[in-house]
């Protein structure tokens, strides 16, 4: 993996109890999430990028409204038929 630097406004540190480490972790997650949403990273790659396990990453992605599966209507019918 490569490392980049990103400039962020100081206002992001104004969250109660927020630390620079918290901001770094949140920023890594949000960047990985966006790359996942754009289909530039798999969920496994994105979770590795932000230091989370895949299940936790997918849970957080879903919680934030990012679809974690891209199934066609036929695939959806097939999945629910098998369930």
Which pLDDT score is estimated for 83? Answer: 63
Q: Which of 73, 46, 76 is nearest to 58 (CA)?
A: 46
CA distance 16 to 53: 26
What pLDDT sits at residue 80?
Answer: 79
**And the tokens for 13?**
């540190």
pTM summary value: 0.81
Q: State the pLDDT confidence band at 12, using cuts at 50, 70 and 90.
A: confident
Query: CA-CA distance, 33 to 54, in Å (whole number)?
Result: 12
Q: Residue 28: its pLDDT value, please?
A: 96
Within 8 A by CB and 6+ apart from 13, the residues are 19, 20, 23
**Helix axis angle, 20-37 relative to 54-63, nearest 10°?**
80
For 16-73, write each residue's pLDDT tens digit: 778 899 999 999 999 999 999 999 999 999 999 999 999 999 999 999 999 998 777 8
CB atoms inside a 10 Å sphere around CB 34: 13
């Amino acid at each position: 993996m490569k490392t980049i630097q990103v400039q962020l406004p100081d206002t992001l540190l104004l969250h109660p109890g927020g630390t620079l480490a918290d901001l770094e972790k949140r920023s890594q997650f949000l960047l990985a999430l966006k790359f996942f949403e754009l289909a530039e990273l798999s969920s496994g790659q994105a979770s590795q990028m932000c230091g989370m396990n895949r299940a936790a990453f997918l849970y957080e992605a879903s919680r934030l409204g990012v679809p974690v599966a891209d199934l066609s209507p036929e695939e959806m019918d097939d999945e629910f038929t098998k369930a």
